[in-house]
């Protein structure tokens, strides 16, 4: 009975015995590291026996070896803040630190990860972000000299890229297509993808738009040379298609206003000649969105009212009066409209 109860007591607590063995193993792990010292073998041995789940309960008294393992896990998770924290910790160690050799290997790897992130920022056009990340590579990192050289090269190429863009813009403004194209071709020698690919494609697209806009505006100007309302209306419609983001976009806008003003002058002449249908048709040629569109609508209203009042019918004259009263007091046609109102009112009273 005594042997049996002794066996039952021993077999009833295997989990407690196992837990005790793991605790003992953990203590031996740390002791082994202290005995082995700075050898990479000792550090790696500890890492294999230090559970990542233990990193959830890091305490102030946690050893550097344990912190290093946990930070390595965090750094390799892809989290930037964790990566920077890992670099800061290991970068502060000097050669007297027992984990210095292992730390230098990890510091190179982590610095390389940070450098790759910086290059990604650089290739998407974020120079300042790239410089900020690269500046975080510590002096003690094996990658530090390479990082400093890269920063200098990036800044130099960025300056050259901005100068190239400025020269491209000047050529574009002067419609020197070959000179503009030459600047774009110069990006082929750049090492940074942002300039060699993205900006080169963007400027090539802009060059195409500028050339197309210039051709369209010239066609509109050719049409406007014919002094009739139909040709001017076509010219305005064509000029309206010019991309407003181009350099000739402003010229196209000015040309539209000039041609619209000419159409309104024709409208006034036809109204004076009592060619009401012609006046209305001419004013209608001015498209919505044009700077003179509202004035054109007032001319249409005045022409229709004048045509109606000409019938010498009370009902028609009242309709004419109602139409012109809608013309805004700030309109250039308001005074002329009021003069006609007085004439039409006199007709009713007479």
Please spell the DSSP secondary structure of 114-138, one letter per residue: HHHHHHHHHHTT-HHHHHHHHTTS-
Q: pLDDT tens digit string along 37-76? A: 333 433 343 344 334 455 655 445 556 667 777 777 766 7
Which of 50-59, 77-86, 94-103, 117-126 comes out lowest in average pLDDT? 50-59
pLDDT band, residue 36 (cuts 50/70/90):
very low
- Whether the CB-CB separation of 86 and 72 falls below 8 Å is answered with yes
At 313 the pLDDT is 86
Q: What is the mean pLDDT of residues 210-216?
A: 98
The CB density around residue 235, as the number of other CB atoms within 10 Å, is 26
pLDDT at 86 > cutoff 50: yes
The average confidence (pLDDT) of the chain is 83
The alpha helices in the chain, defined as continuous H runs, are 2-11, 14-36, 40-49, 64-75, 80-91, 100-123, 127-134, 144-173, 177-185, 193, 200-224, 229-239, 247-272, 276-284, 293-309, 314-324, 334-349
pLDDT at 198 > cutoff 90: yes
Estimate to the nearest angstrom the gap between the alpha carbon of 112 and the chain centroid.
Answer: 28
d(CA 164, CA 160): 6
At 11 the pLDDT is 40
Q: pLDDT tens digit string along 105-141? A: 888 888 888 899 999 999 999 999 999 999 988 888 8
Which pTM does this prediction carry?
Answer: 0.69
Residues 6+ away with beta carbon under 8 Å from 51: none
Instruction: State the burial class of residue 97 (Cβ atoms within 10 Å of its Cβ: 0-12, 13-18, 19+).
Output: middle
d(CA 252, CA 243): 9
Instruction: State the burial class of residue 56 (Cβ atoms within 10 Å of its Cβ: 0-12, 13-18, 19+).
Output: exposed
Q: pLDDT tens digit string along 242-284? A: 999 999 999 999 999 999 999 999 999 999 999 999 999 999 9
d(CA 5, CA 15): 18
Of the chain, the percentage scoring pLDDT greater than 90 comes to 59
At 20 the pLDDT is 43
């Amino acid at each position: 009975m005594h042997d049996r109860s002794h066996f039952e007591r021993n077999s009833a607590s295997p989990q407690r015995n196992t837990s005790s063995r793991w605790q003992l193993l953990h203590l031996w792990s740390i002791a082994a590291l202290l005995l082995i010292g700075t050898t990479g073998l000792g550090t790696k041995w500890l890492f294999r026996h230090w559970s990542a789940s233990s990193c959830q309960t890091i305490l102030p008294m946690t050893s550097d070896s344990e912190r290093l393992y946990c930070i390595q896990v965090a750094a390799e998770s892809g989290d930037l803040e964790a990566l920077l924290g890992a670099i800061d910790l290991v970068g502060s160690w000097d050669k007297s630190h027992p984990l210095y050799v292992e730390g230098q290997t990890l510091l190179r790897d982590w610095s390389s990860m940070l450098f790759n992130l910086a290059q990604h920022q650089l290739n998407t056009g974020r120079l300042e972000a790239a410089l900020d990340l690269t500046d975080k590579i510590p002096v003690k990192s094996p990658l530090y000299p390479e990082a400093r050289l890269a920063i200098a090269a990036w800044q130099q190429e960025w300056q050259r890229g901005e100068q190239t863009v400025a020269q491209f813009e000047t050529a574009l403004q002067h419609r020197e297509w070959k000179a503009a194209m030459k600047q774009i071709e110069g990006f082929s020698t750049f090492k940074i993808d942002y300039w060699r690919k993205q900006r080169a494609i963007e400027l090539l697209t802009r060059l195409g738009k500028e050339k197309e806009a210039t051709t369209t505006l010239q066609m509109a100007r050719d049409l406007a040379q014919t002094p009739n309302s139909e040709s001017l209306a076509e010219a305005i419609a064509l000029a309206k298609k010019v991309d407003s983001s181009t350099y000739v976009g402003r010229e196209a806008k000015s040309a539209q206003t000039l041609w619209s003003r000419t159409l309104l002058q024709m409208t006034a002449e036809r109204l004076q000649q009592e060619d009401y249908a012609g006046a209305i048709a001419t004013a209608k040629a001015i498209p919505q969105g044009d700077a003179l569109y509202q004035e054109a609508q007032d001319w249409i209203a005045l022409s229709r009212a004048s045509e109606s009042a000409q019938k010498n019918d009370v009902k028609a004259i009242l309709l004419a009066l109602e139409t012109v009263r809608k013309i805004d007091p700030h309109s250039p046609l308001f005074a002329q409209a009021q003069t006609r109102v007085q004439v039409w009112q006199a007709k009713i009273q007479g």
